[in-house]
Amino acid sequence: MPPALTHHFSAAEVDDLKQTFSTYDSDSDGVLSLEECRQVVNTFAGRNCGDYEIQSLLRLFDADANGTMDLDEFLKFNYAVRTGFFDRPVSLKDAFVMANRSRTGKLTHRELRHLLKTNESYSKEQVKNILSTLDTRLVSYPQFIRLVNRLEKEL
């Protein structure tokens, strides 16, 4: 385990978390699948999260991008929860990373549309209009922030 992580947790806590991890790993293959993550996320969030939210969370913590959460990633997730991940609104940076399925650091229009649609205060028309103003195929984080600012101004 990387020292950075063991630093956050005591040895006893890591043992506990390993135990917790194995209880969620219902098929005991050593990783948490999307379905297994659903149990974890719902338990930690204290509510039933939607599919998109579960997928987004998995993507956010799936550091090696293999579609499952291993123990190391699970510890990072736990650290995030402990430091108030579910107590604060998801930051724009988190949202951007979550939406970036391709992990290129830039969003496709499809990824961007999907992301903007998760904010219920934006109407379909607004999202459509703002997307039609884009002159690039891929949207970087600074461009994304400018778009969001424009949308917020319209509200």
Compose the 65-84 pattern: x for residues touching Ca ion by CB under 5 A, - for all others.
-x------------------
d(C-alpha 17, C-alpha 73), whole Å: 12
Shortest distance, CB of residue 68 to Ca ion, whole angstroms? 5
Q: Please tell me the number of Cα atoms within 13 Å of 38 on its side-chain side.
A: 10
For Ca ion, the binding residues in 16-55 under the rule CB under 5 A are 25, 27, 29, 36
60 binds Ca ion (CB under 5 A): no
Residue 30, both tokens: 């050593």
Residue 122, both tokens: 């934006």
The only residue of 40, 58, 60, 62 in contact with Ca ion, by rule CB under 5 A: 62
Nearest to 13 by CA among 74, 95, 85: 74
Rg for the chain (alpha carbons), in Å? 18
61 binds Ca ion (CB under 5 A): no
111 binds Ca ion (CB under 5 A): no
Which residues here bind Ca ion, judged by CB under 5 A? Answer: 25, 27, 29, 36, 62, 64, 66
